[in-house]
Structure 1
Amino acid sequence: MGNDDSVGREVEILKALAHPIRLGVLRRLAAEPGTCACDFTDLFAVSQPTISAHLRTLREAGLVTTRREGTTICYSLDERALAPLAGLLGDLTGVTTAR
């Protein structure tokens, strides 16, 4: 069992993933790193403020990184941030993972 800090981190990641749009954003970023924020509004058929709120949640959880290109902000998945979750799932399933 992890210490309180690692458990808190795992919970934070799980909360960030616990919405279909945020999970979909991460799936998209895994397939297409560097996706611009404006591309998500068409993909999920929601407003820009809604996408911005979801991206903010993912940023605050440390799951995505940003890069500015002129006036556009592009997002990429921070794969290292998912390591605690991979470890947790491995622990729960009995599958060992390299940490």
Structure 2
Amino acid sequence: MKDFIRVMKALSDPSRIKILKMLTRRELCVCELQAGLGLAQPTVSKHLRILEDAGLVEKRKDGLWMNYRPADGLSSPYAATLLGSLKHWLNDDPEIHALLLKVPNLDRAAVCARSPEVAR
């Protein structure tokens, strides 16, 4: 039951839902997520840590960058089920729709060049 509760708590925050929806489009680094959401880097990192602990996202190091993507679902059947459904949920929500339109234009080189304090 603990795994179920961890996944449900991770999905109880609108910012974490937005992060997961963005990651369904493509792998993103913290600075790209930060730019898309308009949140501070520590806030985005905290949300990613919670999502990772729940088995909802995975990270992959690529040079200086830490890239995030939805998890494969192997660590938790609850996470796998919800990730599969989340791909189809909320796409018609105006806020989510607008956010997803931003994802293709998020470019880490441009984002980090504008904001030197943005963490990779």
User: Counterpart of 1:43?
Assistant: 36
Query: Is 1:20 the counterpart of 2:20 in the alignment?
Result: no
1: CA distance, partners of 2:32 / 2:77:
27
> After the TM superposition, which segments of 4 or more aligned residues of structure 1 sit over 2 Å from their partners?
none
Secondary structure, counterpart of 1:62 in structure 2? coil
User: Counterpart of 1:8?
Assistant: 2
Higher helix share: 1
Q: CA deviation at 1:64?
A: 0.8
User: Counterpart of 1:52?
Assistant: 45
1: CA distance, partners of 2:57 / 2:17:
12
Extract unaligned runs of 5+ from structure 1: 1-6, 88-99
2: CA distance, partners of 1:84 / 1:59:
13
User: RMSD of the TM alignment (CA)?
Assistant: 1.8
Q: CA deviation at 1:82?
A: 6.5
* Identity across matched positions, percent: 30
Greater RCO (Cα-Cα under 8 Å, separation 6 or more): 2
**Normalising by the residue count of structure 2, what TM-score does the alignment of the two structures yield?**
0.60
Alignment of 1:53-92 (within 5 A): 53-80=46-73, 83-84=77-78, 86=81
Extract unaligned runs of 5+ from structure 2: 83-120
Aligned residues: 80
1:25-78 CA-partner distances (Å, limit 9, x unpaired):
11111121x211110111111110110111111111111111111111000101
Compare CA radii of gyration and give the structure with the larger one: 1
Secondary structure, counterpart of 1:67 in structure 2? strand
Q: CA deviation at 1:83?
A: 3.5
**Normalising by the residue count of structure 1, what TM-score does the alignment of the two structures yield?**
0.72
